Amino acid sequence: MTKQSFSDLALAAYCPRKLYYRRREGDRDPPSEAAALRDLACRYETALSPDGEDALAEAPIAVTPTQFRSNLGCAKARLDAWDALADPAGRDVFLEGREVRGIAHKVLEDPLAPVLVSPGEPPEEGVWKPQSVRAVAAAKALAWEEETPIERAFVEYPAHGRIREIRIGTRRKASYRAALRAARGIDDPPPRLDDESKCEPCEFRETCGVRTRTLRSLLST
């Protein structure tokens, strides 16, 4: 059976129909800022140094240098894995498990855990569902390679100086399994989503044919 990529699972968790069109289009290059943000995610200690604000002057951050350093300082105080996150054992590591494969932007040794770097904005708490599914996929692939259970993973939002630790629990595993089934089962266009907020920024909106309902039609239901 074909192994699913981490990115396909994340997209299946977000919108299976979008995954269908993405596969038809073929491979896409990552966002131009992704490499710069992954590099920033390995320069946290520099950012927190006395001259850190100067070092951030041209960094791809979405908040002020002061806010970035404050957010990062809170993460350093909160996370027992800070040293491993700031100086990871591996960067951009290809992982291949029994069902999935893909790139972990960092792999930590102590604790043994995968790390994903997101170019976006974090939610108020936790991580977005597609990123949770992707992190579980990375954890399962790492567990398969290392032949040991992986109980946690990390998602970093370097543009905001935020780092979120997630536990690989029953609910996250269930979301992963659902996304895996969806990714495996896409041969024809899946049904359209009811959540039209996901359609507004989608590059396949015109191809997909989703119609935005008017306020009058929403009130008349």
Please provide the DSSP assignment of 30-78 as one string.
PPTTHHHHHHHTT-HHHHHSTTHHHHTTTS--SS-HHHHHHHHHHHHHH
Q: Say whether both 182 and 204 belong to one domain.
A: no
Angle, vertex CA 73, rays to CA 32 and CA 121, nearest 5: 35
Whole-number pLDDT of residue 111? 94
Q: Say whether both 164 and 88 belong to one domain.
A: yes
Tell me the three state secondary structure of residue 118. coil
Amino acid at 131: Q
Helix residue ranges per DSSP H, the chain: 6-14, 16-25, 34-40, 44-48, 52-55, 65-78, 82-86, 129-146, 170-184, 205-208, 215-219
Q: Say whether both 41 and 126 belong to one domain.
A: yes
Furthest-apart CA pair in the chain: how many Å?
Answer: 60
Q: Say whether both 181 and 201 belong to one domain.
A: no
Whole-number pLDDT of residue 168? 96
Q: Say whether both 29 and 133 belong to one domain.
A: yes
Domain that holds residue 59: 4-188
**Closest C-alpha to 106, from 119, 117, 96:** 117
What is the token pair recorded at 66?
Answer: 């002061």
Please state, in angstroms and rounded to a whole number, the distance separating the CA atoms of residues 21 and 208: 8
**Closest C-alpha to 118, from 105, 108, 109:** 105
The tally of domains found in the chain comes to: 2
Q: Say whether both 146 and 41 belong to one domain.
A: yes
Q: Say whether both 163 and 221 belong to one domain.
A: no
Q: Say whether both 68 and 88 belong to one domain.
A: yes
Contact between residue 105 and residue 38 where contact means Cβ atoms under 8 Å apart: yes
Please state, in angstroms and rounded to a whole number, the distance separating the CA atoms of residues 89 and 46: 18
Whole-number pLDDT of residue 193? 67
Q: Say whether both 38 and 94 belong to one domain.
A: yes
Q: Say whether both 8 and 94 belong to one domain.
A: yes
Q: Say whether both 18 and 55 belong to one domain.
A: yes
Whole-number pLDDT of residue 28? 63
Q: Say whether both 19 and 52 belong to one domain.
A: yes
Under-70 pLDDT residues of the chain: 27-32, 193-196, 209-221
| CATH number, position 98 | 3.90.320
Q: Mean pLDDT of all residues in the chain?
A: 89
Whole-number pLDDT of residue 57? 85
Helix axes 6-14, 170-184, angle to 10 degrees: 100
